[in-house]
């Protein structure tokens, strides 16, 4: 059996309401197992409950009910060990402006009880490309450098599990590459990585397994490959070689003429062979100048699972 990095059972969080705000059930009894050694994607639309889940893992939000075990340590029974097993790179750039990167890492290591002899601040600064800035004040660092420092801080206590909350939102290409290189390297060394991202093509490329949360419920949890293969949908995109009069009509085929003049035909590849789609186009009297097909991607899976609810 695969070892679990994180085991979550019946996890609920209801934020208490106020005089004007009703209470909010942000997580509604989630069961989730995250295998050790994976790069695991946690996806969901805005307000789905991802940050709540991550903040519970990080020990920043108190759950309402359920059980969370991190690297074998139950959060309620062994809070110190479970906290030591996880490092979180948060979304917000909350850094003390008066600390230099090296000092920030030393303080963080102190907070986690890492002994002086076991600290590797310089090595970590090098890893994130901040060695030149080791003695600069945090307030003088650019946004990208601050993110690098947040990643470095999440690594000081050598956690088994690293959580990255929207690490690439609004960052430039160079920083994005640095992040993904580090994720791949740390994962190859055995670290389990959990990440949330709004960029679905990024999740498709980086994550072995994916969970999708919607309105506090877990709506999917599978390997990325399985999630994609669930979607049998195809699109055939045709450049007509003249005016399109009537759209092709046939069972199992949905036709649409795009603003740029391309004819897009959506169909299920199991039920409808490509030849039947081409035949429908010819029968409508449409000549074909060029044709290509597209498979469903994670975006389609995501929309399918989150739209209707
Ligand atoms: N401190 C809080 N008090 C009350 N409600 C909250 C609080 N924090 C979050 N919520 C609500 O709980 C729900 C889930 O929020 P959460 O931030 O976990 O979602 P998310 O999936 O991380 O969204 P996003 O992608 O926008 O960050 C939302 O409806 C949100 O408004």
Q: Please report the domains of the chain, with CATH numbers, ordered by start residue.
A: 4-228 (3.40.50.300), 232-297 (3.30.70)
Q: Which residues of the chain have pLDDT under 50?
A: 309
**Cα 304 versus chain centre, distance:** 17
pLDDT in tens, 119-157: 999 999 999 999 999 999 888 888 889 999 999 999 999
Residue nearest to atom 16 of ligand 1 (CA): 49
pLDDT for 308: 56
Distance 218 CA to ligand 1 centre (A): 15
Task: Tell me if 248 CB under 6 Å of ligand 1.
Answer: no
Which residue puts its alpha carbon closest to atom 3 of ligand 1?
15
Q: Can you tell me the distance from the alpha carbon of 59 to that of 83, in angstroms, rounded to the nearest whole number? A: 7
Closest by Cα among 42, 56, 128, 115 to 86:
56
Residue ID of nearest Cα to ligand 1 atom 22: 51
CA 43 to ligand 1 center in whole angstroms: 14
- Torsion, Cα 200 202 205 207, to 10 degrees, reads -80
Mutation test residue for ligand 1: of 13, 22, 24, the one with most atoms within 8 Å of CB: 24
pLDDT confidence of residue 21: 86
The closest-lying atom of ligand 1 relative to the alpha carbon of residue 21 is 4
Q: Output the CA 52–ligand 1 centroid distance in Å.
A: 6
Residue whose CA is at the smallest distance from ligand 1 atom 31: 47
Secondary structure (3-state) at 3: coil
* Residue 180 Cα to chain centre, angstroms: 12
User: Is residue 126 in contact with ligand 1, taking CB distance under 6 Å?
Assistant: no
- Quote the pLDDT of residue 183: 93
Residue 202 has which token pair? Answer: 């990024």
For residue 51 and ligand 1, the question of a CB distance below 6 A is answered with: yes
- Protein residue whose Cα sits closest to atom 29 of ligand 1: 47
- The contacts of residue 19 (CB under 8 Å, 6+ apart) are none
Say if ligand 1 is within 6 A of residue 38 CB: no
What CA–CA distances, in Å, run from 180 to 16, 164, 168, 170? 37, 11, 9, 15
CA-wise closest residue to 215 among 83, 306, 105: 306
Specify the ligand 1 atom closest to the Cα of 91. Answer: 27
DSSP class of residue 32 equals E
Q: Which two tokens stand for residue 180?
A: 């993904």
Q: Give 26 Cα–ligand 1 centroid separation in angstroms.
A: 6
Please work out whether the CB of residue 17 comes within 6 Å of at least one atom of ligand 1.
no
What is the position in ligand 1's atom list of the atom closest to the CA of 13?
A: 12
pTM over 0.90: no
Ligand 1 pocket, residue 24 CB under 6 Å: yes
User: Strands 65-70, 73-74: parallel, antiparallel or unpaired by DSSP?
Assistant: antiparallel
**61: exposed, middle or buried (Cβ count in 10 Å: 0-12, 13-18, 19+):** middle
What's the Rg (C-alpha) of the chain? 24
Note the pLDDT of residue 12.
97
Quick one: which atom of ligand 1 is closest to the CA of 61? 1
DSSP 254-266: EEEE-TTS-EEEE
Tell me the sheet residues that pair with 135: none
Contact in structure between 5 and 70 (CB atoms under 8 Å): yes
Q: Name the nearest CA neighbour of 266 among 244, 247, 284, 282.
A: 247
Q: 3-class SS at 305?
A: helix
């Amino acid at each position: 059996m695969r070892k679990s990095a994180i085991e979550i059972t019946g996890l609920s969080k209801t934020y208490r309401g106020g005089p004007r705000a009703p209470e909010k059930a942000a997580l509604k009894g989630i069961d989730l197992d995250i295998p050790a050694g994976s790069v695991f994607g946690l996806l969901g639309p805005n307000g789905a409950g991802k940050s709540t889940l991550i903040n519970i893992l990080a020990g920043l939000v108190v759950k309402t009910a359920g059980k969370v075990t991190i690297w074998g340590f139950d959060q309620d029974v062994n809070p110190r060990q479970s906290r030591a097993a996880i490092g979180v790179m948060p979304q917000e750039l909350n850094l003390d402006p008066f600390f230099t990167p090296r000092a920030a890492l030393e303080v963080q290591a102190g907070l986690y009880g890492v002994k002086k002899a076991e600290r590797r601040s310089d090595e970590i600064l090098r890893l994130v490309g901040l060695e030149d800035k080791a003695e600069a004040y945090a307030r003088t660092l650019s946004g990208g450098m601050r993110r690098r420092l947040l990643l470095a801080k999440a690594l000081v206590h050598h956690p088994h599990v690293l959580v990255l909350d929207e690490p690439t939102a609004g960052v430039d290409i160079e920083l994005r590459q640095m992040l993904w290189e580090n994720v791949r390297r740390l994962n190859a060394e055995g670290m389990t990585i959990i990440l949330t991202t709004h960029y679905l093509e990024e999740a498709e490329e980086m994550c072995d397994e994916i969970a999708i949360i919607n309105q506090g419920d877990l709506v999917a949890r599978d390997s990325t490959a399985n999630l994609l293969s669930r979607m049998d949908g195809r699109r055939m995109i045709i450049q007509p070689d003249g005016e399109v009069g009537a759209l092709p009509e046939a069972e199992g085929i949905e036709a649409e003429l795009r603003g740029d003049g391309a004819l897009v035909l959506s169909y299920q590849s199991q039920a409808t062979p490509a030849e039947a789609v081409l035949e429908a186009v010819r029968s409508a009297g449409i000549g074909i100048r060029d044709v290509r097909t597209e498979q469903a991607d994670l975006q389609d899976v995501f929309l399918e699972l989150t739209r209707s609810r």
